[in-house]
Amino acid sequence: MWLVPLKNSWAFPVVEAAHLAGVALLTGTVIFTDLRRLGVRVAPQTAEELGQIFKPWAHSGMAVLLVTGIVMTLADWDRYRRNPAFSVKMILVLAALASYFAPRRTKASAIASLVLWTAVVLAARAIADFDV
């Protein structure tokens, strides 16, 4: 497959950097919105208004994550399929995305969202530590 040589080239760190930019874009917008829902005055707008303002940015980050994540995973499938942290990350990503697309109108949903996205980032970081 054409992606296999990617893991041993200069291109993999470029794809990984784009993936991290997508993480920052998505989680940054989610964090601002959730903090506003919790009453932290990060902006004069309401949480719902911030959600609408940030929606294109969050969805762009999500698209970058999807594309780069698939490319990185396929480029080094043997590594990722055996890595327990990767499996945990994928489960957390699904839960965090479900939380993102579900109505988030309460403080409890904002806290759950913040916890889930933080756990996704920590699990992603743990992938390097759990290489088998």
pLDDT above 80 (res 4): no
pTM more than 0.75? yes
Confidence grade of residue 7 (pLDDT, cut at 50, 70, 90) = low
Give domain limits for the chain: 10-130
Confidence grade of residue 9 (pLDDT, cut at 50, 70, 90) = confident
Distance between CA 82 and CA 118 in Å, rounded? 23
**First-last CA distance in the chain:** 23
Q: What is the pLDDT of residue 96?
A: 96
The DSSP output letter for 76 is T
Q: What is the pLDDT of residue 10?
A: 81
Q: Where are the extended beta strands (E) located within 3-129? A: none
Q: pLDDT digit string (tens) for 41-86?
A: 989 999 999 999 999 999 999 999 999 999 999 888 888 999 999 9
Distance between CA 36 and CA 2 in Å, rounded? 44
Q: pLDDT digit string (tens) for 82-125?
A: 999 999 999 999 999 999 999 878 999 999 999 999 999 999 99
